[in-house]
Amino acid sequence: MAYATLSDNVYGGYFIPKGATIIVNQWALSRDEETAPDASRFDPSCHLTADGQLKDHFVNHTTAFGFGRRICPEAVIYH
């Protein structure tokens, strides 16, 4: 999903002008070797602790479900 900036901003040393289109790189985020070694291989156990609970990283970061505010998709008006 793409987002547009509401004002000029600086993030990580980069200038992002008002109205710029920002697209999250979900592919890169899901292949973080620190949280999911060998991420290209299907291995659900990388999300679990030794006792079968979800690792904190996956409980607190739900990148699979998108970014930004949460609203009902049917309520979005496309221009």
Model confidence pLDDT, tens digit, residues 16-72: 999 999 887 877 777 777 767 787 888 878 778 889 887 776 555 555 555 555 556
pLDDT of 15? 96
Better pLDDT: 14 or 68: 14
7 has a pLDDT exceeding 80: yes
Report how far residue 37's alpha carbon sits from residue 34's, in angstroms, rounded to the nearest whole number.
6
What are the domain boundaries of the chain? Answer: 2-75
Determine the residue type at 59.
V
Report how far residue 51's alpha carbon sits from residue 73's, in angstroms, rounded to the nearest whole number.
36
Can you give the C-alpha Rg of the chain in angstroms?
Answer: 16
Longest Cα separation, the chain: 48
78 has a pLDDT exceeding 60: no
Q: How confident is the model at residue 79 (pLDDT cuts 50, 70, 90)?
A: very low
